[in-house]
Structure 1
């Protein structure tokens, strides 16, 4: 039994588990700033609405569960980062995420500013 407990303490998964998705450019939320100088290119916004799923409704149509979905947020952020990359941006700064619900939909809004890093002067 002791050997089994000792071996399980040494276990490491073969496939590394990542909790942070990778995006084609750097992402900085409202409370973060890059440590490099940058020039703003353009403010960007991405919106999407999805219908409520059956788990979120009761038979009388009332909402019983909010649909805030991290996968939806990550998908929107990936699309926003690709849009910024096409503009020539190196990063998105001041990224804000908003979520809202209505009687029939979940709504997501993601905003950020596409920026280009400036060369660091010495």
Structure 2
């Protein structure tokens, strides 16, 4: 019983010392705020323009073996690049944020196709209240 207690204490103490190698909390900073389809900014905004990024990229070697598809879709790096392109379009328009961002893809025997859409918006100025 004593050994089990010591083992558990050591296990808890040691697991607190190690950090994961792969960071699961991936947070990329973009030139405008990004809100996905199920999110809304907490500030009022005015829509400016619908935006989209679309295209196709060839399947990677690890997505097909012996002329058979074994994996589909784009990886996180490709998705980050698409979102970066979309946010740059919004920034060029003078937008403060992208809302209703959606990502869809399709896969053929040779390519991954993708479409990322969003709405560029400008935050509304909050009304100033007079001080009496």
Pairing partner for 1:89 from 84, 91, 95: 95
Alpha-carbon deviations, 1:60-112, whole Å to 9, x = none?
x2212213312111110011101101110000001000011111100111000
Superposed CA deviations along residues 24-81 of structure 1, whole A, max 9, x for unmatched, are 111111111111111111100001211011222232x221221331211111001110
Q: Distance in 1 between matches of 2:114 and 2:51?
A: 14
> Which TM-score applies when normalising by structure 2?
0.78
Unaligned runs of 5+ in 2: 1-5
| Partner in structure 1 of residue 112 of structure 2 | 106
Residue matched to 1:57: 64
Please tell me whether the aligned partners of residues 73 and 108 of structure 1 are also in contact (alpha carbons under 8 angstroms): no
Larger Rg belongs to: 2
Where structure 1 has 5 or more consecutive residues not aligned to the other structure, the ranges are: none
After the TM superposition, which of the residue ranges 32-41 and 18-27 deviates more from structure 2? Answer: 18-27
| Equivalent position of 1:48 in the other structure | 55
Could you say what the CA RMSD is over the residues aligned between the two structures, in angstroms? 2.1
Number of matched pairs: 119
- The secondary structure found in structure 2 opposite 1:92 is strand
Query: 1:34 & 1:57 partners in 2: Cα distance?
Result: 40
